[in-house]
């Protein structure tokens, strides 16, 4: 059994490492610039792990969150926006470099896992973690284990069609994935900005403040966004029926979502009552790196809340 666990967040510009104990207490954190080259990145991660182990005087388990997925069929990275990872055996090469098994998972799954283990979703059996930011992603955690799926795409609800589309939402906005009408193209930050201010606008950060100041255009855009989010999450509830949904990403800071979305979901959920909590994340930007550490699960099983009656 390792002395402690480390998680690594492999970001677009930086690589961050955190060391935590089995109680979830953080003992060390470091970050370095991402060298943006495959072999150099492997070396940078190895040096970070070795530095932390030397400082803390022990051996760690290692988990890594990446902006992509490892194909279960080939072991190669796919769908990574750090494109030089794609088609490479990242997990195998990193394991060989560190001379131990390394667990590599999608960063949205790491977010969901972090919030399920000791974040906003702690104590719940099924947790759906949502990323609302530059893109729209998600992760499914059951009993503190990430549900990955046959193709390593479980939870990718951003590339399912926006459900119950209205006449002005058809045939659907084109998406980079090649389809039309993907949920991401209605709920991500740039989609909200364009819906409010027109084509070419990509920054939605100021829209909530404008709405609070009484700007009708901003209020209408936020209302449309909340209603669309409610439809998207209602579909998740109808399929997965999670015990809690936790929001992350930049748009998760919009406080109105937590009061407006739950009642809007109800008419689309096939249940007389819809009581699924929609909660803000607890760990914020640290969720990804902490979730990577929790890819090595607890030794002792926990008791989960499975009923709210």
Please provide the DSSP assignment of 284-307 as one string. GGGHHHHHHHTTS--SS----B--
Shared domain check, 168 and 33: no
- The alpha carbon of 171 is separated from its chain's Cα centroid by a whole number of angstroms, namely 28
Shared domain check, 125 and 103: no
**227 pLDDT higher than 70:** yes
Q: Tokens standing for 240?
A: 């997965």
Shared domain check, 246 and 162: yes
- Percentage of the chain lying above the pLDDT 90 cut: 91
Shared domain check, 239 and 125: yes
Shared domain check, 52 and 165: no
133 is in which domain, residue-wise?
120-281
Interatomic CA distance for residues 51 and 46, integer angstroms: 9
**305 pLDDT higher than 70:** no
CATH number of the domain to which 65 belongs: 3.30.420.40
Cβ(242)–Cβ(276) below 8 Å: yes
Shared domain check, 95 and 155: no
Shared domain check, 140 and 253: yes
Interatomic CA distance for residues 293 and 271, integer angstroms: 36
| pLDDT in the model for residue 303 | 59
Angle made by CA atoms 304, 248, 137, in degrees to the nearest 5? 95
pLDDT tens digit string along 75-100?
A: 999 999 889 999 999 999 999 999 99
| pLDDT in the model for residue 81 | 84
**191 pLDDT higher than 80:** yes
| pLDDT in the model for residue 58 | 93
Cβ(192)–Cβ(200) below 8 Å: no
Shared domain check, 140 and 90: no
Answer yes or no: is 306 within a domain.
no
| pLDDT in the model for residue 1 | 61
Neighbours of 40 (CB within 10 A): 11
Shared domain check, 255 and 124: yes
pLDDT tens digit string along 160-175?
A: 999 999 999 999 999 9
pLDDT band, residue 309 (cuts 50/70/90): very low
- Mean pLDDT value of segment 173-188: 95
| pLDDT in the model for residue 300 | 58
Interatomic CA distance for residues 57 and 69, integer angstroms: 32
Answer yes or no: is 308 within a domain.
no
Shared domain check, 143 and 215: yes
pLDDT tens digit string along 101-159?
A: 999 999 999 999 999 999 999 999 999 999 999 999 999 999 999 999 999 999 999 99
Query: Prior bond to 171 cis, omega within 30?
Result: yes
| pLDDT in the model for residue 302 | 60
Answer yes or no: is 246 within a domain.
yes
Q: Which residues contact 264 (CB under 8 A, 6 or more apart)?
A: 226, 227, 230, 231
pTM, two decimal places: 0.94
β pairing state of 4-10 and 26-33: unpaired
Find tokens 């495959």 and name the residue: 38
Shared domain check, 272 and 127: yes
Neighbours of 77 (CB within 10 A): 24
Find tokens 């994935």 and name the residue: 177
pLDDT band, residue 304 (cuts 50/70/90): low
| pLDDT in the model for residue 187 | 98
Mean of per-residue pLDDT scores for the chain: 94
Neighbours of 139 (CB within 10 A): 31
Backbone phi, psi, residue 201, to 5°: -85, 135
pLDDT tens digit string along 258-290?
A: 999 999 999 999 999 999 999 999 999 899 999
Interatomic CA distance for residues 155 and 181, integer angstroms: 17
pLDDT band, residue 308 (cuts 50/70/90): very low
Cβ(61)–Cβ(296) below 8 Å: yes
């Amino acid at each position: 059994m390792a002395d402690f666990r480390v998680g690594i967040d492999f970001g677009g510009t930086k690589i961050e490492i955190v060391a935590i104990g089995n109680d979830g207490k953080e003992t060390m954190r470091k970050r370095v610039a991402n060298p943006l080259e495959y072999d150099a990145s492997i070396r940078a991660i190895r040096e970070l792990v070795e530095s932390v182990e030397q400082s803390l005087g022990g051996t760690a388990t290692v988990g890594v969150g990446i902006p992509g997925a490892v194909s279960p069929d080939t072991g190669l990275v796919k769908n990574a926006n750090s494109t030089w990872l794609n088609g490479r055996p990242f997990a195998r090469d990193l394991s060989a470099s560190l001379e131990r098994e390394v667990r590599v998972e999608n960063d949205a799954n790491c977010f969901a896992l972090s919030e399920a283990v000791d974040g906003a979703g702690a104590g719940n059996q099924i947790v759906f973690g949502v990323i609302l930011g530059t893109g729209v992603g998600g992760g499914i955690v059951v009993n503190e284990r990430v549900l990955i799926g046959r193709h390593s795409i479980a939870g990718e609800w951003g590339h399912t069609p926006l459900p119950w589309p209205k006449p002005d939402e058809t045939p659907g906005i084109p998406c980079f994935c090649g389809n039309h009408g993907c949920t991401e193209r209605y709920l991500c930050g740039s989609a909200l900005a364009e819906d409010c201010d027109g084509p070419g606008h990509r920054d939605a950060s100021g829209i909530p403040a404008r709405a609070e100041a009484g700007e009708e255009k901003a209020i209408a855009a936020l209302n449309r966004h909340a209603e669309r989010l409610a439809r998207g999450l209602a579909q998740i509830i109808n399929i997965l029926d999670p015990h809690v949904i936790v929001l992350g990403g930049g748009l998760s800071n919009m406080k109105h979502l937590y009061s407006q979305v739950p009642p809007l979901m109800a008419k689309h959920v096939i249940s007389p009552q819809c009581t699924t909590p929609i909660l803000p994340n607890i760990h914020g930007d640290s969720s990804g790196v902490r979730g990577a550490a929790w890819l090595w699960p607890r030794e002792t099983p926990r008791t989960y809340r499975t009923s709210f009656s």
